[in-house]
Structure 1
Amino acid sequence: MLVAFETKLVYPSPDPSSADWSPKHLAFEDVTFDSSDGTALHGWYFPHGEPERTILFFHGNAEDVSDLGNEMSSLRSEFNANVFVFDYRGYGKSEGSPTEIGVLQDGVAAQRWLAERAGIPADQIVLYGRSLGGGVAVANAATEGASALILDRTFHSMVDVAAGMYPIFPIRWLMRNRYPSHERITVYSGPLLQLHGTADEILPFESGEKLFAASRSKEKTFLRIEGLTHNVPPPPDLYSGMHRLFQTL
């Protein structure tokens, strides 16, 4: 029962049956690929005719690919980029059930698929993660490398955040999905852009600060956004910060 509760808490995936999986107004490639354990995964690839960069997007835990088409299309045009968004196992059209080990395998498989499709080394891809996706992006940056790492309202340690939310339960002893991003990010030394809102009601602002402090990147920027909550679109400050970051790459 505790495992089932944790899964619903960490991975509250949307119902895929109500989604629009064929939006006519968007130009993209519908993609299927396999994770390292053979789990079939699904994503949308938004190629650019003359790309200046390639972005891999890791979504949050209450989103799937079908929610993100307009945003990914905007990323493509805003930054002259190839953009790939995919669903972790158990999300959208991807098969399987999510666990930390499985989701991290999916992240690596997505980066390697994108590197092959775009014809570039995996460590030349920009990794962009939001919320839960930030934890996956950090893990990818540590193992696969990245041209740059962009984090939007993510956490330093999922188990620490959960323990703060449910102090009466022995979370630190029982939780399986731990996502120790504050440890993993120390392996990555490339450019980092991180944003967090002071009014985030899901992932505390202080958690984002701890993650940023743990980073050993020499080129890192933290965007503190007053009053920003969690489940709202990214503010213009993020895209402005991304433009400044990309000018340095």
Structure 2
Amino acid sequence: MAIRKIILRLLRIGALLLGVLVLSFLSGCWNWFVEKQVFFHDTTIEQTPADFDLPFEDIWFTGSDSVRLHGWLIPASPSSHILLFCHGNAGNISHRLDNVRLLHQRGISVFIFDYRGYGRSDGRISEKGFYLDSEAAYQVARKWADQHKAKLVVFGRSLGGIAATHVGATQPCNGLILESTFTNMGAMAGAHYPLPFAERILKHRLNAVGEIGGVHVPVLFFHGDNDMIVPI
């Protein structure tokens, strides 16, 4: 009986260790998937607001984990609103200046920033870092809004909508705008990688649905029905 108990105990320990190894493996797979298949970061700044005759200020700021980040503050004058612009998964802030110019022409100030690993921002992209960067960028926009007595609206496009939803759910703002934002990573995996387990495993990752309930300001959703990347 004593030998049997020892064997059973060893089997339990072995099963526990195997579970830890499997979880570690899956975590590593997720980190690889995020870095290689979700975030397509580009470090080349191809143009600046000056190329569009826009006034701007280079803003250097840090995340709560001390990663150095970069963004552009494009003030409009006069301006009663500032838009925190969370861009999508590819390129960097230099590829969104057409949009920024249109906003500026309508009297809206913009703070657009790059996540870690994008553009001039330091660090290496990760899901956790993605959220930390959006929180840090919010603080920059919040400070400007308070100084200029302006309303702060958070905008996110595609993957950036996940960051924007997180900010809107955790920080005070005056509105949230989501363009072509997916519900969670599980839904995206189910649409593009139709494996029976993918949607269930990933449904809690990059999860806008899980956070939208914490948003208590007006929300505008818009989405094109010909979007082949993020289907409606």
Matched, 1:62 2:100: no
Matched, 1:164 2:191: yes
> Which among 94, 97, 102 is matched to residue 124 of structure 2?
97
Partner residue in 1 for 2:216: 189
Q: How far 1:123 sits from its partner (Å)?
A: 10
Matches within 5 A, 1:77-88: 77-78=105-106, 80-88=107-115
2:230 is paired with a residue whose SS is coil
The separation in 2 between residues aligned to 1:4 and 1:122, in whole angstroms, is 43
The separation in 2 between residues aligned to 1:163 and 1:35, in whole angstroms, is 32
Partner residue in 2 for 1:153: 180
> Which among 131, 139, 151 is matched to residue 158 of structure 2?
131
**Number of aligned positions between the proteins:** 203
Structure 1 stretches lacking a partner, 5+ long: 206-249
**Which residue identity lines up with residue 194 of structure 1 in the other structure?**
F
Post-superposition CA distance 1:109-150 (Å, at most 9, x none): 111111113325999410111000101000000000220111
Distance 1:6 1:201, change over 3 A: same
Task: Give 4+ residue runs of structure 1 displaced > 6 Å after superposition.
Answer: none
Q: How far 1:172 sits from its partner (Å)?
A: 4.6
Tell me if the contact between 2:93 and 2:112 (Cα under 8 Å) persists in the aligned partners.
yes
Post-superposition CA distance 1:139-182 (Å, at most 9, x none): 00000022011111011112221133112374357659811111
Distance 1:6 1:196, change over 3 A: same
The separation in 2 between residues aligned to 1:137 and 1:71, in whole angstroms, is 17
**Which residue identity lines up with residue 42 of structure 1 in the other structure?**
H
**Which range moves more in the overlay, 83-92 or 122-131?**
122-131
Partner residue in 1 for 2:104: 76
The CA RMSD over aligned residues, in Å, is: 2.4
The separation in 2 between residues aligned to 1:23 and 1:123, in whole angstroms, is 24
- Select the structure of larger CA radius of gyration: 2
The separation in 2 between residues aligned to 1:31 and 1:177, in whole angstroms, is 32
Partner residue in 2 for 1:242: none
Partner residue in 2 for 1:198: 225
Q: How far 1:49 sits from its partner (Å)?
A: 2.0
Identity %: 33
Q: Normalising by the residue count of structure 1, what TM-score does the alignment of the two structures yield? A: 0.74
Matches within 5 A, 1:1-249: 2=29, 3-14=31-42, 16-17=43-44, 19-21=46-48, 23-24=50-51, 25-78=53-106, 80-119=107-146, 124-168=151-195, 170-172=197-199, 175=202, 178-205=205-232
Distance 1:122 1:111, change over 3 A: farther
